[in-house]
Amino acid sequence: MADEEEGGKKKPSLVITIAAIAVLTLLAAGGGWFVGNMLAPPPAEKPVEEAKAAAPAGGEHGAAGEKGQELAHISTEANGIVLLDPITSNLAYPSDNRVRLEVALMFKGAPDVKLAEEIHQDIMAYMRTVSLQQVQGPRGFQYLREDLEERVDLRSEGRVTNVMFRTFVIE
C-alpha cells in the first residue's frame, strides 16, 4: 500500500482490460471480413438462374422428367467442345491396376465427331502402355497430360486446341 500511495499510480481495472480486448477483437474480425470479401467476393447467382431457365420443365415425361431438372452440358457443338466417353483401361505395369479417364476436346471451329472417336481410341491404346510409376505424383500427371496433348495434336493436325481432363482415377 505504501508503494501505491507514493507513486500515485493505480493498476488498471479488470473492466478496462476486458473492454480493450473486446474492441481489438471486433476490429480484427471486421478487418478480416473486409479483406476476405475483397479477395474472394461472394459468387453471383446469375449463372444458376440461367441454368434453371435452360433446363426443361419438371412436368415433362421421359428421362429428364424422371430424374428431375438437369443442368445443360458444357460440351456442345456450338462451343466446339466434345466430351469423350469415359476411358477405362489396365495399366502396363502393374497390370492389375486400372485407370478411368474422362476427357473433353476443344476443337478449333466445328467439332469433328469421327476425329474425336479416333482420338478416343488412340488415348485408350496409349493408356495401356503407361505404367503406374510414370503417372505418380503431380509431375507424372503433368507428363501424362503433355504426352496426351502431343498425341492429340498429331492426330488432329492442329484442329484440337485443348485437352481438358474431367476425371482421372487409378485403382
What are the helix and strand counts (H, E) for the chain?
A: 7, 4
Q: Which of 78, 79, 92 is nearest to 131 (CA)?
A: 92
How does pLDDT run along the chain (171 residues), one tens digit per residue?
Answer: 455 555 556 777 888 999 999 999 999 999 998 888 888 766 666 555 455 555 554 444 444 444 445 545 565 666 788 889 999 999 998 889 999 999 999 998 888 889 999 999 999 999 999 999 999 999 999 999 999 999 999 999 989 999 999 999 998
* pLDDT given for residue 35 in this prediction: 87
Whether the model pTM is above 0.85: no
- As a whole number of angstroms, the longest Cα–Cα distance in the chain is 98
Q: Which of 150, 144, 145 is nearest to 132 (CA)?
A: 144
In sequence order, what E strands does 11-76 have? none
